[in-house]
């Protein structure tokens, strides 16, 4: 079976793709498994630019069809921040520090002005040069304090009004039904199935 490289250094993302892409006609492999140590600097001005940059760089380096995602959290009251900078918000190193910084910056902002969305752009690139992108969005509200221990990143502070809980209070299976990444992955999965 052909291999598909999931090009991410984020363990949470990798875990989710292993579940989200179950059943595709590819065997999934990772940067660690392929011994790829190169780092890609995310210099683009859009999620799409960065996703394409990551997917094409690792496709060339590995010779494999490669999937990368660029994703982030956009908070309306902060004019879309942390956005593209979600992974390095405030120059802080842990997920926990970053979501506390976000809560701090939203201090005094009432519930009705705490709307936010997760956005995910998947890019799939081949070493031969083609590349395709797929988008998924998930709407929510930033809580006043963290709740839940599942998932990763900003999940503990991202409240889903229709479900009445945070993303971190969902099981991995439930998150993989409704998340931004799940929506983008559904489209990517259709594409990968048609590719063979
Ligand atoms: P790679 O570039 O190696 O894939 P990364 O973590 O640097 O890993 P991004 O540049 O795409 O990835 O940054 C995405 C950040 O957005 C991520 O680090 C989280 O802080 C946040 N994020 C993305 N998806 C999320 C999710 O499903 N739940 C919570 N936070 C998420």
Kindly report, residue by residue over 51-60, the tens digit of the pLDDT: 999 999 999 9
Q: How far is the CA of 10 from the centre of ligand 1 (A)?
A: 7
Kindly report the CATH number assigned to the domain that includes residue 56.
Answer: 3.90.950.10
Residue in 69, 70, 95, 155 annotated catalytic = 70
The SS3 assignment for 136 reads strand
Residue nearest to atom 18 of ligand 1 (CA): 87
Q: What is the pLDDT of residue 71?
A: 98
Q: How far is the CA of 55 from the centre of ligand 1 (A)?
A: 15
pLDDT band at residue 86 using 50, 70 and 90 as cut-offs = very high
Question: Residue range 27-39: average pLDDT?
Answer: 96
Kindly report, residue by residue over 4-27, the tens digit of the pLDDT: 999 999 999 999 999 999 999 999
| Closest ligand 1 atom to 82 CA | 16
Tokens found for residue 145: 């304090």
Q: How far is the CA of 92 from the centre of ligand 1 (A)?
A: 14
Question: Residue range 64-80: average pLDDT?
Answer: 98
Q: What is the pLDDT of residue 50?
A: 98
Residue 47, pLDDT above cutoff 90: yes
Mean model confidence pLDDT for the chain: 97
Residue 196, pLDDT above cutoff 80: no
Residue 103, pLDDT above cutoff 80: yes
Helix (H) or strand (E) holding 67: strand 65-75
Query: Under 8 Å CB-to-CB from 93, ≥6 apart: which residues?
Result: none
Question: Does residue 118 line the site of ligand 1, with CB under 6 A?
Answer: yes
Is there a contact between 10 and 152 (Cβ–Cβ < 8 Å)? Answer: yes
Question: What's the domain range around 24?
Answer: 3-195
Q: What is the pLDDT of residue 179?
A: 98
Residue 70 a catalytic site member: yes
| Closest ligand 1 atom to 181 CA | 27
**Mutation pick for ligand 1 pocket among 13, 82, 140 (CB with most ligand atoms within 8 Å):** 13
Query: Under 8 Å CB-to-CB from 53, ≥6 apart: which residues?
Result: 40, 42, 43, 44
- Please choose, from the candidates 8, 9, 155, 134, the residue with its C-alpha nearest in 3D space to the C-alpha of residue 73: 155
Question: Residue range 88-96: average pLDDT?
Answer: 97
Is there a contact between 119 and 72 (Cβ–Cβ < 8 Å)? Answer: yes
Residue 162 has phi, psi (to 5 degrees) of -70, -30
Is there a contact between 54 and 40 (Cβ–Cβ < 8 Å)? Answer: yes
Question: Residue range 119-144: average pLDDT?
Answer: 98
Kindly report, residue by residue over 133-190, the tens digit of the pLDDT: 999 999 999 999 999 999 999 999 999 999 999 999 999 999 999 999 999 999 999 9
Name the domain count of the chain: 1
Distance in angstroms (rounded) separating the CA atoms of residues 6 and 55: 9
How many Å is the Cα radius of gyration of the chain?
A: 17
Percent of the chain with pLDDT over 70: 100
Question: Does residue 176 line the site of ligand 1, with CB under 6 A?
Answer: no
Q: How far is the CA of 87 from the centre of ligand 1 (A)?
A: 6
pTM of the model: 0.97
């Amino acid at each position: 079976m052909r291999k598909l490289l999931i090009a991410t250094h984020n363990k949470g993302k990798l875990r989710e793709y292993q579940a989200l892409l179950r059943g595709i006609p590819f065997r999934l492999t990772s940067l660690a498994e392929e011994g790829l140590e190169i780092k890609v600097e995310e210099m683009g001005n859009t999620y799409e630019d960065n996703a394409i940059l990551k997917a094409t760089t690792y496709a060339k380096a590995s010779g494999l069809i490669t999937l990368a995602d660029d994703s982030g959290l956009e908070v309306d009251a902060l004019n879309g921040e942390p956005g593209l900078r979600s992974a390095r918000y405030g120059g802080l190193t842990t997920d926990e520090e970053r979501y506390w910084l976000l809560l701090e910056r939203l201090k005094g902002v009432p519930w009705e002005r705490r709307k936010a969305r997760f956005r995910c752009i998947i890019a799939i690139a081949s070493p031969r040069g083609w590349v395709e992108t797929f988008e998924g969005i998930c709407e929510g509200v930033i809580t006043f304090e963290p709740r839940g221990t599942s998932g990763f990143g900003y999940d503990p502070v991202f409240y889903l009004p229709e479900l009445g809980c945070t993303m971190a209070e969902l099981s991995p299976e439930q998150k993989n039904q409704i998340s931004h990444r799940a929506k983008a992955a559904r489209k990517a999965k259709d594409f990968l199935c048609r590719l063979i």
